[in-house]
A = this chain, B = another copy of it.
């Protein structure tokens, strides 16, 4: 006996009903809500089969069936129908994001929008420095021997860092340093700056050498080693909607969401491109985050990928709706970034 079409239909119906009602679904109610064309007894047989194959399970005898992670996986891979955003929703996306005035604003608005659309927790990574290149470096003198280094990237990020020099640096030297580093580094991918920075030190005049050495150390630290990824988060209040799904306690989830490293891992490897990624339950192997699914994708101007964004929710989530929202928002954010 094999997996016929009807059985797939049954699985789809189970997932859809369960996501909607949050209650185990039984054979009778399934028949009454979906035009499956067969009786509940037949459905029961199908359900027995699906259970044997590991797609659904019974929380306890004499309860309805609930999809397993394997069941959700099959659902998202083969069964779910695309559920595009309504026109009103799409208009809202555009209107809301169009008002953004700078990168911070874009990210901030995006994450809130995503949380609102999906009624779940939204996560947006700022454009990754490793995916950006230098657009401008600025040195501002704060005090004798102390400068502030400001870096602007092509993705719109602005990073700053205080640099303490062993000896004072004259205004003139500041100007020289600035033009030297700008000449050398502007347009360079951040991942490729280390050798350029080394060259800067090597080529600098004996007089400027000490200052340039200090500066280069900080440049390396800030731009490369520190791997400064930033993340915005919104919609944690939505977790309470599904408190029951999380075996009662939100603690582990809230804790995980406060860890930048965990969030980055959740969003997944940027390198996997602009494709949409879905992890279900333990597929993300983060303790405390079994029981959650993640729908994420990359975004970036003109087909490139500079960062990730996504949604975190209970495994029992409305996958088609979430997928549509994530995809639409990512696309539009990419467009906006392309304009800048």
Contact = CB atoms under 8 A, between A and B. Distances in A.
Contacts of A161: 101-102
Interface in A231-253: 234-237, 239-241, 249-251
Contact of A236 (B102, B158, B249, B258): B258
Contacts of A136: 140, 148
Interface in A254-294: 254-255, 258
Contacts of A240: 249-251, 254
Contact of A237 (B148, B235, B258): B258
Given A162-B102, A162-B340, A250-B240, A152 B152 contact: no
Nearest to A218: B101
A166 to B, nearest CB: 17
A131 interface: no
A240 B248 CA distance: 10
B140 A152 contact: yes
A266 B307 CA distance: 34
Contacts of A148: 136, 152, 158
A160 interface: yes
A76 B140 CA distance: 47
A148 B138 CA distance: 12
Contacts of A140: 135-136, 138, 152
A41 interface: no
Contacts of A255: 237
Contacts of A158: 148, 150, 158, 160
Interface in A204-240: 234-237, 239-240
A250 B248 CA distance: 12
Contacts of A199: none
A79 to B, nearest CB: 32
Interface in A118-160: 135-136, 138, 140, 142, 148, 150, 152, 156, 158, 160
Contacts of A237: 250-251, 254-255, 258
A198 B327 CA distance: 45
Given A150-B158, A158-B158, A234 B258 contact: yes
Contacts of A249: 240
Contacts of A235: 258
Contacts of A102: 160-162
A307 B142 CA distance: 21
* Among A142, A160, A255: residue with most chain B CB under 10 A: A160
A100 to B, nearest CB: 10
Contacts of A162: 101-102, 156, 340
19 contacts: A101-B161, A102-B161, A102-B162, A135-B140, A136-B140, A140-B152, A142-B340, A150-B158, A156-B162, A158-B160, A162-B340, A234-B258, A235-B258, A236-B254, A237-B250, A237-B251, A239-B254, A241-B251, A250-B250
Given A236-B258, A237-B255, 19 more contacts: A101-B162, A102-B160, A135-B140, A135-B142, A136-B148, A138-B138, A148-B152, A150-B150, A150-B152, A150-B158, A152-B160, A156-B162, A158-B160, A234-B258, A236-B236, A236-B254, A239-B254, A240-B249, A240-B254
